[in-house]
Structure 1
Amino acid sequence: MEPVLRVENIQKYYGNKGNITKAIDNISFSVAPGEYIGIMGASGSGKTTLLNCISTIDSVTSGHIIIGGRDITTLGTKSLSRFRREQLGFIFQDFNLLDTLTTYENIALALTILKQPAHQIDAKVKAVAQQLAITSVLNKYPYQMSGGQKQRVASARAIITNPSLILADEPTGALDSKSARMLLECFETLNDQLQATILMVTHDAFTASYCKRILFIKDGKIFNELVRGDRSRKEFFNRIIEVVTMLGGDNGNVL
């Protein structure tokens, strides 16, 4: 089966000849359809730069990133914008919802931009709202919702276009523990029932324990990899903590 994502020998440098910082140092990996992958590492390890390159927010210095069979490192600005709208879903720590739009309108916006018929938009918005248990807030504005509800709305917006890949950047960072758990259960639903392919950057071992595979980044390179397999989430959490210790920092610094 063709991978949804292939990262091939990418490097990312910042600075000039006198002062070069190597943020990503020859990283390669692939993501199969329906995988749920976490990326962890200390601040400055390169994990956010990696996510930014995959999301087309930033460009690589060398190497290739192939998503859905297309090498995004070869696309021009207009093609990248179109690709981003049609093939990628984004879930951010700060939700990025539009305050002047209702939940329904925030979710529908991506489909409106793609010029889908109104009756199709309505059916899709109501279906995804039911799946993520946010039907009751469809007519509410962001200021009228809890953090957990806003993040589930953001999740609905991310998947409404049926993207090849969902990218999540510290999605539980602004949530309390109860809301975080609800969101992670929502991600499990997206992954297990809808076969959504998710790539998530997180500092938090509890959040990462919901993933099926984790890549640990250190000094711009892949330091280690964990596969959950048949482990319980608690067992996987303990293994994550062990690798974090190997990374050379205490949990507070790395997670």
Structure 2
Amino acid sequence: MNYVLNAKNVQKYYYNKKNVTKAVDDIDLNVRRGEYIGIMGPSGSGKTTLLNCISTIDTVTSGHIFIEDKDITKLKQNQLSDFRRNHLGFIFQDFNLLDTLTAYDNIALALAVIGRSPETIEQSVGRIAAELGIGEILTKFPYELSGGQKQRIACARAMVKEPSLILADEPTGALDSKSAKMLLQNLGDMNEKRNATILMVTHDAFTASHCKRILFMKDGKLFHELVRGADSRKDFFRKIIEVVSVLGGDNSHVI
């Protein structure tokens, strides 16, 4: 089986003087190449902690995480930096764009740091900008862009180097409904057209309904799984709402 991500017996504990908190409790997770997966769960369920461990932002207490057959839990800090730069793409809720760089340069930087030539960078940025419909705003600085435009630039930056795995943390959380729908369309297109492998944490059922598979977490464990299959997005959305209601999460986000 062609797995991009294979997590085995992953546990994450947080310690303080009085308590030990088990944020991630013995999770196994496999993600095939080209999958578009959402992770949902109520606050404190461990979904963001799990994403942080997969993204190398945080370290596991025990267990192993393999990305492209590389055990990232065994890498040293400098090796992790190189691995993150070459193999992972990130889309954050707060965009994380560099204010002193134009939109073009924010995207191009992802390629420059891995040593791509200027000619390759120009071609790659032009291609991803055309696909995401952002060609007209490449010369603008972040402060000149709307939230939706910033998020599409962040999306382009994550995808331009064609990473093994794209990790998205609440990517629609800071967007209005129109911008959110546009971003979700872009992510869906990248998954379909580029076979991009996407793992997204979200609390929002509407956002999750654009995924192909949803993993639900509760108390640090995997609680349930839904596969969209042949369902329409609206039917998938209704199934997601049913599980969210059982979990006790927020089901106020409706179509």
TM over 0.5: yes
Aligned counterparts of 2:249 and 2:69: Cα–Cα separation in 1:
38
Question: Equivalent residue for 2:181?
Answer: 181
SS in 2 for 1:229: coil
Deviation at 1:2, TM superposition (A): 2.0
Deviations 1:57-89 (Å, cap 9, x if unpaired)?
Answer: 000000000001100000000000000000000
Q: 1:150 to 1:16 in 2, by over 3 A?
A: closer
Question: Equivalent residue for 1:245?
Answer: 245
Aligned counterparts of 2:70 and 2:250: Cα–Cα separation in 1:
39
Check whether the contact 2:42–2:248 (CA below 8 A) recurs between aligned residues.
no
Deviations 1:115-141 (Å, cap 9, x if unpaired)?
Answer: 211111111110110011100111111
Deviation at 1:252, TM superposition (A): 5.0
Aligned counterparts of 2:249 and 2:184: Cα–Cα separation in 1:
26
Supply the RMSD in Å over aligned alpha carbons. Answer: 1.2
Sequence identity percentage = 66
Q: Which amino acid is the alignment partner of residue 237 of structure 1?
A: F
Question: Equivalent residue for 1:223?
Answer: 223
Question: Equivalent residue for 1:203?
Answer: 203
TM-score, normalised relative to structure 2: 0.97
Q: Does 1:32 align with 2:32?
A: yes
Aligned counterparts of 1:126 and 1:19: Cα–Cα separation in 2:
51
Q: Which amino acid is the alignment partner of residue 2 of structure 1?
A: N
Deviations 1:10-35 (Å, cap 9, x if unpaired)?
Answer: 00011158511000000101000000
Deviation at 1:161, TM superposition (A): 1.2
Deviation at 1:248, TM superposition (A): 3.1
Q: Across the two proteins, how many residue pairs are aligned to each other? A: 253
Question: Equivalent residue for 2:171?
Answer: 171
- Residue correspondence of structure 1 range 105-184 to structure 2 within 5 A: 105-184=105-184
Question: Equivalent residue for 2:214?
Answer: 214
Aligned counterparts of 1:83 and 1:249: Cα–Cα separation in 2:
35
Deviations 1:181-239 (Å, cap 9, x if unpaired)?
Answer: 00000001110001000000001000000000000000000000000000000000000
Aligned counterparts of 1:172 and 1:39: Cα–Cα separation in 2:
14
SS in 2 for 1:206: helix
Aligned counterparts of 1:244 and 1:205: Cα–Cα separation in 2:
8
Question: Equivalent residue for 2:73?
Answer: 73
